């Protein structure tokens, strides 16, 4: 069981203060079965009437709640059948819709299979989620499969092909989105690897908003070494058409372990589209284990396209098995180097494991 409640206070009198809440409970049953329920909600506080358009679409709802039930049931031979159903309730007109999904899967160590069906009603709404408006009213079928073959000869350890494919259609039957992404990974006995990938698809989700139909088609290759006693690295290159624009980007990730209690990780990717709007995105993360159960982490991120930099520091402490406390501070700066008051964050999180 877990829950979190947050009150967001705003200095602008045109916007109401909000209370956000989330709670979840799951119950593991004998035989690998699991059932659960969850709920999220946003409610405006006080009597301040919001401005005409404080939210996308001019929504002036006083509350939005979403309830969900979940289930996972173990089948013979290692297969699972899982699903969930969600219902939203919103003040005002609209916003009382549903989502449901059903997944048939085989989560093996070397073989993985998943077939999923999801349906979203046009009037579903979730203020505390990342659901995009263009996804409302779609029906989605997706597939993912992976098979790892152990080679153990000629210096090779394994070869793993996988495939992801998805197809979305609107309630009226029109195709909205389809995409496919096959890839191949080859791993050597000394932990070096090489990956090959290809992706293609058609995206019509934004046509109702006045944008054209996008056709994606690009290939990628990556190589490196998986983490070892000293760390690891990964270099990658991608080229093709993405959302209608031809581009190529190259980047890499490196992890270094100076000694067992300190890990430094960094990655950067340079984007070079045909339009010439080149930009770089990267981050640096350092984790120091002070004592058993206590660590300190510092993260620095930069994006030359958005012209912002983000820095955060986090203290984590496991004061007893399964019980933790986190104290973190985060600050975002713009291109001029001045911090933005609205983009500072300080939070404390404590979880305590209760055993019965």
Higher-confidence residue: 258 or 101?
101
Length of the chain: 356
Joined tokens for residue 24: 């979840």
Between the two ends of the chain, the Cα-to-Cα distance in Å is 13
In this prediction, what percent of the chain has a pLDDT beyond 90?
63
Q: Are residues 142 and 149 in contact, defined by beta-carbon separation less than 8 angstroms?
A: no
Domain boundaries, given as residue ranges, for the chain: 278-356
Please tell me the distance from the alpha carbon of residue 287 to that of residue 131, in angstroms, as a whole number: 32
In the block, residue with structure tokens 């990780």? 265
Which pLDDT score is estimated for 58? 42
| Cα-based distances in Å from 329 to 2, 7, 30 | 23, 18, 41
- Model's pTM, two decimal places? 0.76
As a dihedral over the C-alpha atoms of residue 273, residue 275, residue 277, residue 278, rounded to 10 degrees, the angle is 30
Q: Which residues contact 255 (CB under 8 A, 6 or more apart)?
A: 227, 231, 232, 233, 263, 264, 265, 266
Whether residue 128 has pLDDT greater than 60: yes
Q: Which residues of 230-338 form beta strands (DSSP E)? A: 231-242, 245-259, 262-273, 279-291, 294-303, 308-320, 323-333
Mean pLDDT in residue range 130-139? 82
Number of Cβ within 10 Å of residue 204's Cβ equals: 19
Shortest CA distance to 125 belongs to which of 141, 108, 137?
Answer: 137
Q: Where does the pLDDT of residue 69 fall: very low under 50, low under 70, confident under 90, or very high at 90 and above?
A: very high
Shortest CA distance to 136 belongs to which of 103, 180, 94?
Answer: 94
């Amino acid at each position: 069981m877990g829950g979190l409640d947050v009150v967001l206070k705003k200095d602008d009198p045109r916007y109401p203060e909000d209370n956000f809440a989330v709670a979840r409970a799951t119950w593991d049953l004998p035989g690998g079965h699991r059932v659960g329920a969850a709920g999220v909600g946003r409610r405006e506080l006080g009597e301040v009437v919001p401005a005409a358009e404080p939210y996308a679409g001019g929504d002036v709802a006083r509350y939005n709640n979403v309830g969900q039930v979940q289930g996972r049931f173990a089948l013979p031979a290692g297969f699972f059948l899982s699903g969930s159903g969600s219902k939203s309730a919103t003040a005002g007109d609209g916003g009382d819709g549903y989502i449901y999904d059903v997944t048939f899967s085989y989560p093996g160590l070397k073989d993985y299979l998943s077939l999923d069906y999801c349906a979203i009603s046009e009037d579903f709404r979730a203020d505390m989620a990342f659901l995009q408006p263009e996804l409302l009213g779609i029906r989605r079928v997706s597939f993912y499969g992976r098979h790892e073959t152990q080679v153990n000869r000629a210096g090779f350890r394994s070869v793993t092909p996988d495939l992801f494919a998805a197809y979305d259609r609107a309630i009226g039957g029109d195709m909205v989105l389809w995409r496919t992404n096959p890839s191949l990974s080859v791993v050597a006995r000394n932990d070096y690897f090489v990956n090959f990938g290809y992706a293609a698809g058609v995206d019509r989700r934004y046509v109702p908003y006045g944008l054209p139909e996008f056709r994606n088609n690009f290939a990628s290759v990556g190589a490196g070494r998986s983490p070892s006693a000293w760390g690891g690295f990964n270099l990658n290159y991608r080229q093709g058409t993405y959302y209608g624009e031809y581009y190529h980007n190259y980047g890499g990730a490196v992890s270094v372990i100076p000694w067992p209690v300190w890990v430094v990780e960094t990655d950067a990717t340079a984007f070079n589209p045909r339009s010439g709007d080149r930009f770089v995105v990267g981050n640096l993360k350092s984790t120091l284990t002070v004592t058993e159960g206590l660590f300190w982490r510092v993260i620095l991120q930069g994006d030359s396209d958005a012209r912002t930099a983000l820095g955060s520091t986090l203290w984590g402490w496991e004061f007893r098995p399964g019980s933790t406390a986190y104290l973190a501070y985060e600050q975002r700066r713009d291109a001029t180097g001045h911090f933005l008051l609205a983009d500072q964050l300080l939070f404390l999180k404590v979880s305590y494991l209760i055993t019965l």
